[in-house]
Structure 1
Amino acid sequence: MDTFQTLDGLYQYAGLVKDVKIQVLLYDAILKYAREHGTPVYLARALFQKYLIKRKDLARREQSYNEGKELLHYLLYLHENDQVIALYRLGLQAFSLKLYSECIEFCRKGLSKNQEVSELQASATLATCNSYLFLEDFILASVYLKEYEKFNYTYVQENAEYLRAIIYSKTEDYRKAIPLLEKCLERSKTNARIPIANDLLNIFLKMEDANAARNIFHQEVAILPAKIETPYMFDQVGLYYSLKGKFLIEQGMFDAGIECLQKSIQYYGEIGAYSEIIENTSLIIRSHVVHGKMLNLEVLQEFDSLYNVIIRKK
């Protein structure tokens, strides 16, 4: 068999294999062979398929993202539809890693190529809008919000209303932001409530409105998602417990606050959010110092357990 027949046969076979670990090994074999024989088409295809598999490992997002970017050198060797999917997937993963400028770069490239309307295209538009929000470019955020509103999916209008509330919040127009966020929270499904609750908490804590913040915490059972599957949701639950922990410590409920911060670290550990883990760990130690408390054996054992779990995921 010649090189192309060999690579094509192995590539087709790899796509049929159910065991993910064996799939990755087969794609690695294709990559090695394609590099040695100068066949960039199969190099690009194997990189693409390997990236789609490895990006699902939430604890190794940064590693899979950096490896996935090698695909950019061979993008033109993919079918146009796969080029667009690769750009969207890299953009969405960049957003989950809080690399907002890179998210915008990849999603905009994908949007410029893509004419076919899809939910993935809608997600890329939404991520671009959100990235501009985090970068505090509210003009371009509003531009992409209008583009996002054009998609004819049932959830789009609710998401768009939420984004408009975020723009009000970011520009500190709390008079408009709070009622709109409360409306979004009331009508949202369980798995969509946690980011809205976090946005309200951030506003109430800035306003030093303890009663309003306490009211959100009282709704915890209805707010926390029943099932957490995406990096974004792990991040949002981690943020919720971080905000709650800080609030409880400030309100004099020291032990309950520390427990929340430990929960926050656990959720951040699931996605390898190391800067947030370090920040919360530092806050736990600093809180003990400020309040004249000794780090008890139970807290230290919890640190050790969390450390071992996180290290195993690296």
Structure 2
Amino acid sequence: MGFGDFADVLLRYRHQENITLSELAERSGVSKSVLSRIESGETKRPGFATWKKIGSTLNIPYGLVISTYLDVTERAETLKFLLQEAIAHKNKTVIEKAAQKLLDTPRMDTFLALDHLFQTANGTDDQGIKLVLYDVLIEYTRKHGIPYYLAKGLYERYLLERDDFCNFEETYRRGKELLHYLDSLQPIERITFYYRIGGHASILGYYNECIELCRKGILEDQTDNKQKASALIAIVNSYLRLGDLVLAEFYLKQYENSEYADFRKKHLRALLHAKKGQHDEAISLYKKCLDEADHNSRISIASDLLEVYLETGRNDLIHELIESEGEFVPSGYISHPNRIKQAARYYKRKGLCQFAVGLVDEGLHSILQSISYYRQLGAFKKVTECICLLLAYHRKNEKNLSFEVMELIENICHNE
């Protein structure tokens, strides 16, 4: 776009509104002579207040009003003002354009422009706008090799996106880019990032990566705090999933010694007992955990307790626990990724237990519930595992799948 755009836009919208220059002057409060010079191209850049009045009168979209002005200015203060105008009107396309223009203008020091953009992003409460600004900042600093602001942008974007379970896998992959620039972060930011992305890896089932990332945070962190305690939980869980009971117990003892340890130390200890085949000790601790935990934290305990009951053939206790699930299944919509994962695990194990005791339809319904939760996380490997469980059960027991179930599986495979 060039200097003729003010004239082009003015002429196009004046004809669209079927309004003469005289009528436009009367309605907008801008003199006819000024309007004539803009339309003829004689005035290359009218004042923004004047252009705004013209735009309002001619019903020119405000994004176009700002965008047209962006094309003809390099002044830093004007660009800052236009960026704020775009933010105020929540026009993400124009916000991106204004942010990019601010970084590209030769009339402002690059580092001052980056700092202004970073502070502007931190100063808005709109997450969508924050992400637009961080994306512009990240792309610019990556292209121009500015590691400090690249690290800051990647860090803030990751924290913002982390709990968006709709893109949980993609957010993890994008977040790992920051591992190359961690030296540019402050120690507290670096430790926080290790803990958060380590927990992220645990939820996705990347247990070796979880251990590596959380351990790096713990090695730097000389204090006892809630984040560190959560990282220890993730490490213990990961070692348990990997079958390394020695290291699981080593880190469990560290967690048990934390001031921030809670009922989960009993849960983890019960898991360890179960892995060692000490089922009575595990069941006793699981029951104590269910009594101590709040409602939203009980489902993972119940899920692990079901597994012990299934392994030991305690069908009576399986029935009893499932009958009482109103005491531990979360009510309403679940939004936190880890809680979604726990709900998915519970319904998967519940389905297996129901299959084991001959409740085929109920088990099928539970597995489908598990699939719906895994799909929310984008954990399609887990979705596939659940589908395989359904098919394997029906094959081994020589049962036919109903057309309704086949249709559900078809929809899942097409991600509908």
- TM-score relative to the length of structure 1: 0.91
> How many angstroms does 1:119 deviate by?
1.4
For residues 236 and 95 of structure 1, the distance between their equivalents in structure 2, rounded to whole angstroms, comes to 12
Report matched runs for 1:296-307 at 5 Å. Answer: 296-307=402-413
Structure 1 equivalent of residue 121 of structure 2: 14
Match 1:212 to one of 300, 308, 317: 317
Match 1:272 to one of 371, 378, 384: 378
One-letter amino acid of the structure 1 residue matched with residue 154 of structure 2: L
For residues 254 and 240 of structure 1, the distance between their equivalents in structure 2, rounded to whole angstroms, comes to 17
Unmatched tracts of structure 1, length 5 or more: none
1:198/1:239 contact within 8 Å kept: yes
One-letter amino acid of the structure 1 residue matched with residue 112 of structure 2: Q
Report matched runs for 1:151-166 at 5 Å. Answer: 151-153=258-260, 156-166=261-271
Report matched runs for 1:149-188 at 5 Å. Answer: 149-153=256-260, 156-188=261-293
> How many angstroms does 1:293 deviate by?
4.4
Residue 229 in 1 paired to residue 331 in 2? no
Structure 2 equivalent of residue 117 of structure 1: 224
Match 1:200 to one of 290, 294, 305: 305
**Superposed CA offset, 1:189-215 (max 9, x none):** 111111111111111111112112111
For residues 296 and 140 of structure 1, the distance between their equivalents in structure 2, rounded to whole angstroms, comes to 46
263-272 vs 228-237, which deviates more?
228-237
One-letter amino acid of the structure 1 residue matched with residue 255 of structure 2: Y
For residues 141 and 289 of structure 1, the distance between their equivalents in structure 2, rounded to whole angstroms, comes to 37
**CA 1:165–1:299 in structure 2 vs 1: closer, same or farther (change >3 Å)?**
same
The higher radius of gyration belongs to: 2
1:132/1:141 contact within 8 Å kept: yes
For residues 140 and 286 of structure 1, the distance between their equivalents in structure 2, rounded to whole angstroms, comes to 34
Structure 1 equivalent of residue 203 of structure 2: 96
For residues 231 and 213 of structure 1, the distance between their equivalents in structure 2, rounded to whole angstroms, comes to 27
One-letter amino acid of the structure 1 residue matched with residue 178 of structure 2: L
One-letter amino acid of the structure 2 residue matched with residue 88 of structure 1: Y
For residues 11 and 214 of structure 1, the distance between their equivalents in structure 2, rounded to whole angstroms, comes to 56
2:335 alignment partner, SS class: coil
2:194/2:217 contact within 8 Å kept: yes
For residues 225 and 246 of structure 2, the distance between their equivalents in structure 1, rounded to whole angstroms, comes to 25
Match 2:401 to one of 292, 295, 310: 295
**Superposed CA offset, 1:100-158 (max 9, x none):** 111111111111111243311211122122222222222222222222123323xx242
For residues 136 and 254 of structure 1, the distance between their equivalents in structure 2, rounded to whole angstroms, comes to 31
For residues 212 and 110 of structure 2, the distance between their equivalents in structure 1, rounded to whole angstroms, comes to 35
**CA 1:61–1:173 in structure 2 vs 1: closer, same or farther (change >3 Å)?**
same
114-123 vs 77-86, which deviates more?
114-123
Report matched runs for 1:35-46 at 5 Å. Answer: 35-46=142-153
Structure 2 equivalent of residue 52 of structure 1: 159
Structure 2 equivalent of residue 257 of structure 1: 363
One-letter amino acid of the structure 2 residue matched with residue 35 of structure 1: R
Structure 1 equivalent of residue 349 of structure 2: 243
> How many angstroms does 1:291 deviate by?
4.6
For residues 288 and 270 of structure 2, the distance between their equivalents in structure 1, rounded to whole angstroms, comes to 10
1:58/1:231 contact within 8 Å kept: yes
> How many angstroms does 1:184 deviate by?
1.4
159-168 vs 230-239, which deviates more?
230-239
Question: Higher relative CO (CA 8 A, sep ≥ 6), structure 1 or 2?
Answer: 1
**CA 1:36–1:306 in structure 2 vs 1: closer, same or farther (change >3 Å)?**
closer
**Superposed CA offset, 1:46-82 (max 9, x none):** 1111111222111322211111111011100111111
**Superposed CA offset, 1:223-244 (max 9, x none):** 2123533322222222222222
**CA root-mean-square deviation:** 1.9
- TM-score relative to the length of structure 2: 0.70
Match 1:67 to one of 170, 174, 180: 174
For residues 254 and 56 of structure 1, the distance between their equivalents in structure 2, rounded to whole angstroms, comes to 35
1:190/1:226 contact within 8 Å kept: no
1:44/1:77 contact within 8 Å kept: yes
2:330 alignment partner, SS class: coil
Unmatched tracts of structure 2, length 5 or more: 1-107
**CA 1:106–1:175 in structure 2 vs 1: closer, same or farther (change >3 Å)?**
same
**Superposed CA offset, 1:269-294 (max 9, x none):** 11122122112222323444445544
% identical aligned pairs: 37
